[in-house]
Chains A and B, each alone.
Chain A
Amino acid sequence: MKRSIWQTLLLWALPLAFLLVFFYQPLVAIFRLVFSTQFSQGWKLFRWSQITKPLGFTLYQATLSTILTLILGLPAAYLFARFQFAGRKFLRVLITIPFILPTVVVAAAFNTLLGPRGWLNLGLMSLFNLSSPPVNMLNSLSAILLAHVFYNTSIVIRMVGSSLSRLNQNLPSAAQNLGASPWRAFKEVTLPLLMPSILSATLMVFLFDFSSFGVVLMLGGPQFSTLEVEIYNQAMNRFNLPVAGLLSIVQLAFTLLVSVLINRSNQPRYGKAAMAFESSGLRVAKESWEKAFVIIMVTVLLLLMVTPTVSLVTRSFFSFEAARGERGELNTGFTLRYYRELFENREKSLFYVPPILAIRNSMIYAGITMLLATTLGLISVYAIQKSGSLSPFLEPLFMLPLGASAVTLGLGFLIVFGSSVLTQGRFQALIPVAHSLVALPLVIRTLLPALRGIPVNLRLVATSMGASPSRAFREVDLPILFRAIVVSLLFAFTISLGEFGASSFLSNTAMPTIPVAIFRYLSQPGALNYGQALAMSSLLMVVCVAGSIIIEQIRLPGEEVF
């Protein structure tokens, strides 16, 4: 008995120490900095408008984005839950892609569609012989909203769509049989039963829109600041850490509030009573309104959810202007040049950093993150499982980093480790640590159900046949956990590759990660920078999509992390 308690404590020690040093310490440091500065300066350090303005805009754009996402997502959920049409499965896969894309890729994709050098403007310019781009969609609220809709519609489709397709069809039928018109049956029965999942999806979308960073920074331009962007600006451009810290606290408070609401809305309310044994069948559109609905929805989804990524990839293969320093060599049309340039260190290229260096950096960070997060995750899930009845209280300790934004994490690191001798000049070494913190909750959510699924008897049988504990782990746990471990590794790897918020704080100018490099290339003039950004974005997208496809293939049913 005594021994097992010590074992459990030992298991807890490593992940807890990691979280204490790298998550709770930076968090406490932010609080301490903010409050000590406030006291010493008599609450005069900041003007309220510095807080209320970004908060107001954050709430405003998040509300608008959420409403627009629902306007597209709810009918789309209905489309996929009810109708059979050509290419349905393929479209279903295509529209889930945006959700897994890193923010920089989304920004780059919208840039190639709507930006001054994007397809829309190129097309209009050649069509009407214009000399300058006619449409200016970037750096506007609409660009932010569009990107948010692009990002989050699949959440609504998945959450509401799955409830809708599992809803017992006899319930609305019973209502009609009792005298309710189809519309009345929808209003009185279907809608109230869908409400919990609509509410969850709405809160989830709101949370993502609320804490959006990369998209707003890159597509909104300087005049739009959400809390996240303002934290970044205050910290990185004005070096005003206390205000940045205060903004972080506000951000954290809102995030936690919404997370609590999401958790409560996820409680099953009617349980199995509203669910059918199997999902209801799909039907082919017959009536004219049904046909029109299907055609319109598919068109809108293709336009909004698929064209940006297609546009990104195609644009990365086309050159329309001469690169700087290559005067006279104006070759318009298909080219592989942007991809070849990834491997060359051109002096004209920004900061003299060849893209391949960013790729190398990211690969190293992602590799470390993958191992660090999965190892910590494995230890943590065993610790959680060993704690028995205490585990419901201990589990949230590991889940909390999910609530803190990457930008807050970056800020905390800056405060705690920014001046420390240990990290002098090697600040970027903290990048995999930050990425691991972001990935850890997801890794735990992947591993925990798999571990809980192992019958205790199997381990007992193994030990009774003479296997030592470590042998039992190798012979029983490891093979069963294998899939979950591979999924965790991939999760951590892709999260690290695409992570932008924390990296933007931590990466050294000379040692950028892929997303940081893309961000820099995109915000600089010059066709080559632009092309390199697109080539890298396309590659990053391919890696992320491939990663998530493999995850989907090998993960067991019922293990969805989100």
Chain B
Amino acid sequence: MLSVRDIYKKYEGAPLLNGLSFDLAQGEIICLLGSSGSGKSTLLRIIAGLEEAESGAVYWDGVDLAQTPAHKRGYGLMFQDYALFPHRNVYDNIAFGLRMQKHPEADIEKIVGERLKSIRMENFAKRPVTELSGGEQQRVALARALAPDPRLLMLDEPLGALDQGLREELTQELRQTLRDSHKPVIYVTHDHQEAFGLADRLLILHDGVIVQGGSPQELFENPANAWVAGFLGLGNLISGNDLQNDRMLSGQPEPSNETVWLLRPFDARMGDSQADIPFNFEGDVLDCIYMGERYRTKLRTPQGIILSIETPSLCVMGEQIKVYWQVEDVLCLKS
């Protein structure tokens, strides 16, 4: 359906998007994950036709959209700040796209009514949008984007402006709405928890390109590099240099500056492995937090390495403990 090819865009002299490409299939929900300032919003604006790329192209069913202006693309975009029209009430905001499509007023009333019902805000039609709460604004913005029946829906950090409790509640609701719409969706966020919960496929944006794409499980099990593992918060990243060099592993690359070991907290085992592997550590307990069922403990080794591990029981601060990782649980990544 949607193909994005070699998008290049500069921001204040430096490349922001550096030859970025990806595809989107019918009915697929993809999450575009990237830290703030990585160009996620800019990419959405380029796809929507609101901004021009310096080079590259956006195709829809094989047709280049370069000559199609924003208002003729039929892509719904929900802005991070919602961009609700402050001079229009809830009803008129949702009806805006339908009016642009010149629907008869009776149809508009019906569609807006349905949309309001689906977000459980039937009584809000005449409310000024400036009087809505954050969560209500978010719902109206989504209803407004969906009302003109766009062929693609793009959401820019839709939950970013809300507080934690509301976020969790609305993630569920959003997932349901997106599934029900059967539309291809590009969902932009910097929060991997949110992305894992929503996406069929995740795309990770870093340094202006997609560094990795795949299902949540694929990414979780095989992060492409140390940056991805760090960004997704998969666990301890220990540089090869920090490990004892005299104990080599057969079949593994030589520990160096180029390699990083991923040691996941829940794979950590207490005690001494007795085996001749480099993943034995001994350190002082810095911190121990109850996470429900298990404890998240922080250790500092004499070399100054900070390790995060999961322990079944409470550790006393300052206590010295030994942990190790089995070779098959450890992942070697490019830095």
Which A residues are within 8 Å of any B CB, using their own CB? 168, 170-171, 173-182, 184-185, 188-189, 192-193, 269-271, 273-274
Contact = CB atoms under 8 A, between A and B. Distances in A.
A175 B81 CA distance: 14
A179 B148 CA distance: 9
Contacts of B72: 179
B100 interface: yes
Nearest to A189: B85
Contacts of B50: 173, 176-177
Contacts of A175: 85, 96
24 contacts: A168-B83, A171-B86, A173-B77, A173-B83, A174-B85, A175-B96, A176-B49, A177-B48, A177-B71, A178-B145, A179-B74, A180-B100, A182-B69, A184-B71, A185-B71, A188-B96, A189-B87, A192-B87, A193-B86, A193-B87, A269-B87, A271-B86, A271-B130, A273-B86
A174 B130 contact: no
Interface string B223-263: 00000000000000000000000000000000000000000
Interface in B34-64: 45, 48-50
Contacts of B76: 177-178
Given A271-B130, A273-B86, A177 B75 contact: yes
**What does DSSP make chain A's interface, helix, strand, loop or mixed?**
helix
A179 B71 contact: yes
B101 interface: yes
B101 A174 contact: no
A270 B130 contact: yes
A175 B69 CA distance: 13
B70 A176 contact: yes
A467 B74 CA distance: 70
Given A170-B79, A173-B79, A181 B85 contact: no
Pick the most buried of A171, A179, A181, A270: most chain B CB atoms within 10 A of its CB.
A179
Interface string B309-320: 000000000000
A108 B88 CA distance: 49
Given A168-B81, A170-B79, A270-B130, A177 B70 contact: yes
B208 interface: no
B71 A181 contact: yes
A176 B76 CA distance: 10
Interface string B115-149: 00000000000000110000000000000110010
Interface string B85-123: 111000000001100110000000000000000000000
Nearest to A174: B83
A498 to B, nearest CB: 41
B70 to A, nearest CB: 4
Contacts of A180: 71, 96, 100
Contacts of A181: 69, 71
Given A168-B83, A170-B81, A192-B87, A178 B100 contact: yes
A168 B148 CA distance: 23
A179 B101 contact: yes
Nearest to A195: B87
A188 B69 CA distance: 18
Given A171-B83, A178-B144, 20 more contacts: A168-B81, A168-B83, A170-B83, A173-B45, A173-B70, A173-B83, A175-B96, A176-B69, A177-B145, A179-B71, A180-B96, A181-B69, A182-B71, A184-B71, A184-B100, A193-B87, A269-B87, A270-B87, A273-B84, A273-B129
Contacts of A171: 83, 85-86
A467 to B, nearest CB: 45
A142 B84 CA distance: 45
Given A174-B79, A180-B71, A273 B101 contact: no
